[in-house]
Structure 1
Amino acid sequence: MIIRPATHSDVERMDEICEAAKAAMRNMGIDQWQDGYPNRACWEADVDDGFAYVAETDEGTVAGMFALVTNAETRDPEPSYGEIDGAWLTPEAKYAAVHRVGVAPEAKGRGVAGTMLDFACNKAAQMGLASVRIDTHADNKPMQRALRKAGFSLCGVITLVEGNDAGAQRIAFEKLV
């Protein structure tokens, strides 16, 4: 499996994976991603901004995707991470943020999420950043398991400050790189 920057030709598949993830969360009673976000326009913007990555199998099938948001010039690439009920591992350091992680239903249980998270951490380290941060819904137990398995530490609760879910709380994780 390789992780590579996503292109506009990947967006259709990314959207399919996203829709499957939305359905899976809905079936688990999780209200995350149930309000139209993320959507195709979001994936297009991530590709345009250079934030989108895909996990591609040896057969050339996209099995997962995520956004890796970095800003080496400033400390905070994610406005929602400015305040936390808890404590970041690196409160004053530069970090990368991972968002919109999704794995195709047929690829679940094959280490795709872990491979993508490892890539994000390695990329952040290559950029000289101190850590990678990510947040998820408190009820999203599969994502929480993936994060813990990948070595992320639970740091506390953040409140989203932008987008459709502004005001919603999420649990936040961080991993030193």
Structure 2
Amino acid sequence: MADYPAMAAIYEHARRIMRENGNPTQWGHEFPRESVVLDDIANGRTMLLVDRPEGEQAGMDCDDPSAETDSETDGETLPFGMLATGERILAQFALCPGIDPTYVSIEGSWLDDDPYVTIHRIAASGLGPHAARDCLEWALAHYGNVRADTHPNNKAMQHVLETGGFARCGLIQLIDRPKDTTRIAYHRHEW
């Protein structure tokens, strides 16, 4: 839970980047909601891709020029993406095991019906290259059968998924939103 302020700042950064790149509605101004992210943390679904910058020691400030700050620990404000451990969050996502209710109905077809994990709410901090790709590769190495989805306007994530070997399987409809519900479904299974 101590990592939440840094994560919230990264989600805000991701929303801004989406808006600036022609995708203003996928996450809007509020998604993912605080309650959802806190629930992910409490239930062990949150995954953080972190590093410790070379030459940095725990607690030292990161010298990133884009140092937006919002993360606090014991009254100390930390640079954007920095944790109190001295590590930087390069990316974060929710890793959800089991059947995803949104994926039960698809216009198209999944690669198989084997057990899978779903990646949701992936966001890169911009502090390191290829962070989203590295998250996908980690999930594949540890779970083998991975599904994800993204908004039709999220060209960056489509590129990451497709160059990462994920197959475009069709369209799904989100069941937790009243509008803008269509998402492109992706799947990769390491046989």
**Same topology, TM > 0.5:** yes
**What is residue 68 of structure 1 aligned with on the other side?**
95
Q: How many residues align?
A: 156
The match for 2:111 is 89
1:122 maps to what in 2? 141
Paired position in structure 1 for 2:162: 148
Structure 2, unpaired ranges of 5+: 54-86
**Cα–Cα, structure 1 residues 165 and 63, in superposed 2: closer, same or farther, change >3 Å?**
farther
Match of 1:27 in 2: 20
Q: Which has a greater percent of helix? A: 1
Task: State the alpha-carbon separation in 1 of the partners of residues 174 and 142 from structure 2.
Answer: 25
Instruction: Name the residue aligned to 1:170.
Output: 183
2-structure distance, mates of 1:100, 1:70: 14
Q: CA RMSD in A?
A: 1.5
Alpha-carbon distance, 1:118 to partner? 0.9
Paired amino acid for 2:47: Y
3-state DSSP of counterpart to 2:22: coil
Q: Secondary structure of 1:50's match?
A: coil
User: What's the secondary structure of 2:127's corresponding residue?
Assistant: helix
Three-state SS of the structure 2 residue aligned to 1:88 is coil
Whether 2:93 is the aligned partner of 1:99: answer: no
TM-score, length-scaled by structure 1: 0.83
Residue 166 of structure 1, CA deviation: 6.1
Counterpart amino acid of residue 89 in structure 2: V
**Separation (CA, whole Å) in 2 of partners of 1:48 and 1:122:** 24
Q: Aligned residues: percent identity?
A: 30
| C-alpha displacement of 1:10 | 1.4
Is the radius of gyration larger for structure 1 or structure 2? 2
The answer to whether the Cα contact below 8 Å between 2:102 and 2:175 also exists between their aligned partners in 1 is: yes
SS at match of 1:155: strand
Rounded to whole Å, the distance in 1 between the matches of 2:41 and 2:97 is 14
Matched residue, 1:12: 5
In the TM superposition, residue 41 of structure 1 has moved relative to its aligned partner by 2.2
